[in-house]
Structure 1
């Protein structure tokens, strides 16, 4: 696992009305501070990758649909510099994923249904000076094969 990445298995409390699950609490050791919560929906097979932040951490959660999430550690000082991790997240595997600043990240929607992502950041978005650096989805330096492998 890339140094600094945290995974929290979520607990669903179910009854005849549906379910409740706490996503993120301020008394957990996940975020240094809380800045913004956002939500996005993407259609099947869409790839949104890669980007990274220099000043903020992200926490990702997919409440509907499923996604292949790819992280690549571009932090030169990190013990895991150059490492790539893949996580399968969504309604079939409800987890929270902390993505530290300096780790490039992106995802591909899996299956035939759209996926919704809810994400939290330690800083609010500043359109005048966005903390978002882009890397192409097919960057040869990362070299990730986004195709599903038949095994």
Structure 2
């Protein structure tokens, strides 16, 4: 169960045969799909942290088709029952699922392992360079207080 209100995941199913596999990611009749705004892709090298930012109008749907990432969400919505709560997801090629991130939830990730990670994400709004709906928070902001270091036991 997700700790942050309005965040949810969708498991993905691989249909495999001797040629490889096929996997549906997102359909226009999926519960998490409001409307199409933009599809984007980014690649980051091992150890890179891209955090944090949030949107006031835009929802995101994230998927990591290659590599591995630690995804961190922090609820910035004062009217949410999970206000100021933080949640962590481990996503990547060995854990294929979509993550719905509602507007007002700060999000970021750290690339895990020895190789790069690729993120593919869908938004309900297209990016507008004249009026960007993107609000930045430092990855080490004390108000969030997330420790990005890997813990060995």
Which range, TM-score by smaller chain? Answer: over 0.9
Q: Distance in 2 between matches of 1:31 and 1:139?
A: 31
- Residue 68 of structure 1: aligned partner: 70
Structure 1 position 31, deviation (Å): 2.2
| Partners of 1:133 and 1:31 in 2: CA distance | 23
Pairwise CA RMSD: 0.6
CA-CA distance at 1:101 after TM superposition: 0.1
Q: Which residue of 1 aligns with 2:134?
A: 132
Contact 1:72-1:103 within 8 A present in 2 as well? yes
Q: Secondary structure at the match of 1:27?
A: coil
Consecutive unaligned residues in structure 2, runs of 5 or more: none
Pairs aligned (count) = 151
After TM superposition, give the deviation of residue 49 of structure 1 in Å.
Answer: 0.1
- Any gaps of 5 or more consecutive residues in structure 1? none
TM-score w.r.t. length of structure 1: 0.99
Distance 2:77 2:33 in 1: 19
Q: What SS does the corresponding residue of 1:71 show, helix, strand or coil?
A: strand
> TM-score when scaled to structure 2?
0.97
